[in-house]
């Protein structure tokens, strides 16, 4: 809007807020894999649905040994999901 363009502080806050929301959503998405896999293990949600939704994370785990170890620790040790 014209008001935002004329006020650099508002623009800066808007950009900062947007970046904050994007980062928060990314962290939430990543951390939600633990509870989601726990629900899939219990049969509350289907394995294919969980795999499809978390495909980017699983892809990263397949291509990065360090990320795979971290994800394995998070899912098995924190959420107690069977490998």
Mean per-residue pLDDT, 5-13: 82
Q: Are 36 and 74 in contact (CB under 8 A)?
A: no
Q: How high is the mean pLDDT of the chain?
A: 93
pTM score, two decimals?
0.81
| d(C-alpha 43, C-alpha 32), whole Å | 17
**Residue entry with tokens 């947007």:** 18
| Intra-chain end-to-end CA distance of the chain, in Å | 51
Predicted local confidence at residue 1, as pLDDT: 53
Q: How confident is the model at residue 65 (pLDDT cuts 50, 70, 90)?
A: very high
16 pLDDT band, cuts 50/70/90, is: very high
Q: What's the confidence (pLDDT) of residue 67? A: 97
CA–CA separation, 51 and 33 (whole Å): 10
């Amino acid at each position: 809007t014209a008001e935002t363009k004329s006020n650099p502080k508002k623009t800066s806050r808007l950009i900062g807020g947007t970046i904050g929301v994007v980062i928060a959503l990314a962290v939430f998405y990543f951390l939600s894999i633990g509870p989601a896999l726990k629900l899939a293990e219990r049969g509350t949600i289907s394995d294919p649905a969980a795999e499809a939704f978390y495909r980017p994370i699983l892809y990263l785990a397949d291509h990065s040994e360090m990320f795979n170890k971290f994800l394995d620790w998070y899912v098995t040790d924190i959420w107690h999901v069977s490998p």
